[in-house]
Structure 1
Amino acid sequence: MTVAELNPEMENEEGFEVPYHVALTTYFSYAILFIIGSIRDFYRTLRRTGKKGYAPLCKDFEDFYTRRLYHRIQDCFNRPIASAPTNWIDVVERVSYDSNKTLHQTENTVRCLNLGSYNYLGFASHDEYCTPRVVEAMNKYGASACSARIDSGTTVLHNELEVLVAKYVGKPAAMVHGMGYATNSTSLPVLVGKGGLIVSDALNHASIVNGSRGSGAKIKVFQHNTTFLLSVHEMKLEDSRDYLYFLIDASHLEQVLREAISQGQPRTHRPWKKILVVIEGIYSMEGETCRLKEIVTVAKKYKTFIYLDEAHSIGAIGKTGKGICELQGVDTADIDVMMGTFTKSFGSCGGYIAGSEELIKYMKYTNPAHLYATSMSVPAVQQVISALEVILGLDGSNRGAMKLTQVRENSNYVRSELRNRGFEVLGDTDSPVMPVMLYNPGKIPAFSRECLKRNVAVVVVAFPATPLLLARTRVCISASHTREDLDKAVKVISEVGEMCNIKYFPRKLAEDEKFFWYDQKKLE
């Protein structure tokens, strides 16, 4: 039994209650889409032509969603831009003459407010400190090393960045990769193999999912930020007829670990060779942070390793931008493997793995991205070094601290304004990622196109990046956004939200609520 089952009004911790008609109309829309699409596919098979004797290269049903939904609204995705991804961007206009099956670029651009890029600290455009150093590095080293790290792809700047990153995240050593996605997908198979167990958050990124599948380890999934009721304790309040109900709960992660350890490996029931808990700092499609303190407590209890992905949290949250550990007061020594990317807050590309010296030494000997992939380009390396120096104040200014304050204030301002206007906005305080729920498939293109007409560029997200019924638009806030930019964003989103009917008004909880909800930590 869950907390929501005891008190359904508390089901959405953000205070929103999605109307039943929204869910019903969403199901109905997909049902109509599926029925009509299936009928069209039936007639399509009657006149199918292909290579005689060859099997179809793509299966019909696997390609169904792409053909019947995505192609019809693909003008809302993959929009090319003709400028740096700062607070305002130039979006290239596209036209279609065959109902969106193909799109053609024009020579025209539209100046739009950018609410879709991960440029959290504003380093993606020209910077007075970073850009001259990047240009100097490119003139000296060239645009690419044209070699893997283990061959001739390591420069003094790569080594300098690894030392700086390790110091910044609070670990003894670090290694950098040329691609953030590959950092996860190639590191996890090196860390865990057959006979091991990966316990992964249900909302982890695709790079983690693919890396886990490629490891050969057994994979178990625990529900994101979910607790389950263990017992209820009742206490009569002094001089009152009211009662206070305490809920004693335990994390779903602990339940999964307890069962996995007690049962052992499949068939043989031997003990697991290794157990790795994989989580993220900020979840990119929800904007939520993980409950790191509770996860560390459970991991220590069951003697499991922790792999923390800070792609969206490093440089974006925490007093000095050091991520989820700093924000929640967790010692980095309790995290065995710290991963992050340079593609968000640092305005560059690539990723890193940080940990003990022994771990990094082992990874450099075995990780295929280090052994075979082309190393991170030197200008991109210099961009990260320069951005870190600004964040740490090594440039002789306080711009880094101001950027961190600005992105935090901007994020909380927009989140508060959108919620006050009735939108269902996911995400936690201080997170620069804030999804606004759309649900209905028909509202995906409507919202995107109407915002573009008003010179606001937004990112809409649908299946397979999210569950089929949970389509949303994802607003990303940057330190480069001014208050005027944010007011325009809120105004346009509110106006388009009225047109699309996606305002699900928040319901305030009664002040005299007799039930008080505590987590395990508070009760202790």
Structure 2
Amino acid sequence: MAFDWLAPHLQQKQQDGYLRQRVCVEYEKDGIICVGGRHYLNFASNDYLGMRQHEGLLQCWVEGLAQFGGGSGASALVTGFSQTHQALEAYLAEQLNREAVLLFNSGFAANQAICQALFPGSGLSSGSGLSSGSGLLLADKYMHASFIDGAMACSGQLKRYRHNDLDHLARLFAAGTNTDTLVATEGIFSMDGDAAPLPELVTLCKQHQSWLMVDDAHGFGVLGEKGLGSAEHYRLSQQDVPVLMGTFGKAIGTGGAFIAGSHDLIDYLANTAREYIYTTAMPPAQALATLFSLQHIATSEQRSTLQHNITMFKQQAAKQGLILSSSDSAIQPLLVGCPKAALQMSEGLKARGVWVPAIRYPTVPKGTDRLRITLSAQHTKQDIHALCDALALARDELSYGQ
């Protein structure tokens, strides 16, 4: 019987504590979600600034829908590229001090495009004058799956350096003979919440005449004077970071992503990136709402509120004896080490009205299963105290049961 291995595969995942299941959120407002008729404090969202339900952003959505309709109607290279898309790209390019910007429907698509366009296979590059299979991708071990999948499917040689280990990266440089080398890192790492040593990476990449690519999905909107992310925070130029990717579905509160870089890079991607050419463009209303969000974040106090909440949480967690990582971002992982124990702690939190998911392999390496706590500017002092109390009780219950 075809595919008769599906059911046993799922059963094994269930036994090992790795089976994933979706939950249906029935309601969400002001950091509260309703699941199965019960309400929970939500410490699982990447909406770090609470922008998803901002009144001004929603009004822009409505205005965009009235003017442009529900969708874009075509790919960007046909008739799907509107004046709102153009305005958003121009704003990002100006604010980030980049020559050009290209919009994508998701960060996953943008990362795939970077890998497969810059390192095309022989079939795609035939007759184009492009070299095939001669490139090298050096990716941080904790680089997001979207980039790793793209890198594994392209013609370049993929090597992964130990997380934030500059010495290991330097050794990989020394062992390589490739002319086209792309080093890839995240600005803020999605599961650990720690930051990449970007200034040092810039120096190392320049020494080896390679390009640095930064996936800033979790830094964009939060870091920097105007919330423009890691590049603004460290004042990194286009020459420092030739390939900059950011997403709008987290701190910005909408959806989609962008790649920023030189005119040549962006024009090349628009002409070769299949993830851009062969998909319907994001709705114009979404682009309009995204532009509003970026402009609002630049002058609002939400980022200061978020940073205050991060500090408060870390202080309160320390008082409860909770051992956290060294993250200073909104992502605060609590390592458990066992998938079933992580699930048990997550259920213990739910019983107390707090929603924190268990993150397990393969999202994180085996033995590093965890609770991934994400903080928001929407959270109150009372919310954070309730979280820490619930975490301490769930931890104690787990200890008693062992």
Answer whether TM exceeds 0.5 for this pair: yes
Q: Of 367, 373, 377, which residue of structure 2 is paired with 1:475?
A: 373
Aligned to 2:170: 254
SS at match of 1:376: coil
Aligned to 1:180: 107
SS at match of 1:84: strand
SS at match of 2:142: coil
Aligned to 2:273: 367
For 1:348-381, what per-residue CA distance to the aligned partner results, in whole angstroms no more than 9, with x for missing partners? 1111000011211111111112211111122221
The amino acid of 1:303's aligned partner reads: Q
State the Cα distance separating 1:162 from its structure 2 match: 0.6
For 1:372-416, what per-residue CA distance to the aligned partner results, in whole angstroms no more than 9, with x for missing partners? 1111122221221110110223xxxxxx2x101011111122123
With over 3 angstroms needed to count, the CA separation of the structure-2 counterparts of 1:65 and 1:221, relative to structure 1, is: farther
State the Cα distance separating 1:64 from its structure 2 match: 6.4
Asked if the contact 2:89–2:101 (Cα under 8 Å) also holds between the matched residues in 1, the reply is yes
Higher deviation after alignment, 139-148 or 200-209: 139-148
State the Cα distance separating 1:450 from its structure 2 match: 1.2
Aligned to 2:239: 333
Aligned to 1:122: 50
Aligned to 1:319: 225
SS at match of 1:129: helix
Asked if the contact 1:85–1:119 (Cα under 8 Å) also holds between the matched residues in 2, the reply is no
Asked if the contact 2:97–2:238 (Cα under 8 Å) also holds between the matched residues in 1, the reply is yes
SS at match of 2:25: coil
The amino acid of 1:405's aligned partner reads: S
State the Cα distance separating 1:167 from its structure 2 match: 2.1
Aligned to 2:256: 350
Aligned to 1:403: 302
- Gap regions ≥5 residues in structure 2: 121-132
In structure 1, C-alpha distance between the alignment counterparts of 2:344 and 2:375, rounded to whole Å: 22
With over 3 angstroms needed to count, the CA separation of the structure-2 counterparts of 1:56 and 1:442, relative to structure 1, is: closer
Aligned to 1:142: 69
For 1:70-89, what per-residue CA distance to the aligned partner results, in whole angstroms no more than 9, with x for missing partners? 47x65xx4221112364111
Aligned to 2:130: none
Q: Of 170, 190, 196, which residue of structure 1 is paired with 2:135?
A: 196
Asked if the contact 1:189–1:216 (Cα under 8 Å) also holds between the matched residues in 2, the reply is yes
Q: Of 284, 303, 306, which residue of structure 2 is paired with 1:378?
A: 284
Asked if the contact 1:183–1:369 (Cα under 8 Å) also holds between the matched residues in 2, the reply is yes
Aligned to 2:314: 415
Aligned to 2:344: 446
With over 3 angstroms needed to count, the CA separation of the structure-2 counterparts of 1:293 and 1:85, relative to structure 1, is: farther
SS at match of 2:246: strand
For residues 171-320 of structure 1, what are the structure 2 equivalents within 5 Å?
A: 171-193=98-120, 194-226=133-165, 251-260=167-176, 264=177, 272-320=178-226
Aligned to 2:325: 426
Aligned to 1:68: 15
The amino acid of 1:463's aligned partner reads: Y
For residues 39-78 of structure 1, what are the structure 2 equivalents within 5 Å?
A: 51=1, 54=2, 56=4, 58=6, 65-70=12-17, 74=20, 77-78=21-22
State the Cα distance separating 1:144 from its structure 2 match: 1.2
Asked if the contact 2:320–2:388 (Cα under 8 Å) also holds between the matched residues in 1, the reply is no
In structure 2, C-alpha distance between the alignment counterparts of 1:143 and 1:342, rounded to whole Å: 18
Asked if the contact 1:86–1:124 (Cα under 8 Å) also holds between the matched residues in 2, the reply is no
State the Cα distance separating 1:221 from its structure 2 match: 0.9
Asked if the contact 1:459–1:474 (Cα under 8 Å) also holds between the matched residues in 2, the reply is yes
Aligned to 2:364: 466
With over 3 angstroms needed to count, the CA separation of the structure-2 counterparts of 1:317 and 1:55, relative to structure 1, is: closer
For 1:115-135, what per-residue CA distance to the aligned partner results, in whole angstroms no more than 9, with x for missing partners? 00001111012x232111111
With over 3 angstroms needed to count, the CA separation of the structure-2 counterparts of 1:368 and 1:85, relative to structure 1, is: farther
The amino acid of 2:340's aligned partner reads: G
Aligned to 1:79: 23
In structure 1, C-alpha distance between the alignment counterparts of 2:327 and 2:98, rounded to whole Å: 26
Higher deviation after alignment, 154-163 or 384-393: 384-393
In structure 2, C-alpha distance between the alignment counterparts of 1:319 and 1:492, rounded to whole Å: 34
Asked if the contact 1:410–1:477 (Cα under 8 Å) also holds between the matched residues in 2, the reply is yes
For 1:326-360, what per-residue CA distance to the aligned partner results, in whole angstroms no more than 9, with x for missing partners? 33344443110000110101111111000011211
Asked if the contact 1:427–1:435 (Cα under 8 Å) also holds between the matched residues in 2, the reply is no
State the Cα distance separating 1:197 from its structure 2 match: 0.3
In structure 1, C-alpha distance between the alignment counterparts of 2:150 and 2:207, rounded to whole Å: 26
The amino acid of 2:169's aligned partner reads: L
For residues 138-177 of structure 1, what are the structure 2 equivalents within 5 Å?
A: 138-177=65-104
State the Cα distance separating 1:113 from its structure 2 match: 0.4
Asked if the contact 1:316–1:432 (Cα under 8 Å) also holds between the matched residues in 2, the reply is no
With over 3 angstroms needed to count, the CA separation of the structure-2 counterparts of 1:463 and 1:366, relative to structure 1, is: same
In structure 2, C-alpha distance between the alignment counterparts of 1:452 and 1:379, rounded to whole Å: 36
Asked if the contact 2:96–2:232 (Cα under 8 Å) also holds between the matched residues in 1, the reply is no
Asked if the contact 2:313–2:384 (Cα under 8 Å) also holds between the matched residues in 1, the reply is yes
With over 3 angstroms needed to count, the CA separation of the structure-2 counterparts of 1:212 and 1:359, relative to structure 1, is: same
Asked if the contact 1:289–1:324 (Cα under 8 Å) also holds between the matched residues in 2, the reply is no
The amino acid of 1:84's aligned partner reads: E
Q: TM-score, normalised by structure 1?
A: 0.71
In structure 2, C-alpha distance between the alignment counterparts of 1:454 and 1:67, rounded to whole Å: 25
The amino acid of 1:324's aligned partner reads: S
Aligned to 1:102: none
Asked if the contact 2:43–2:354 (Cα under 8 Å) also holds between the matched residues in 1, the reply is yes
In structure 2, C-alpha distance between the alignment counterparts of 1:121 and 1:464, rounded to whole Å: 28
Asked if the contact 1:121–1:346 (Cα under 8 Å) also holds between the matched residues in 2, the reply is yes
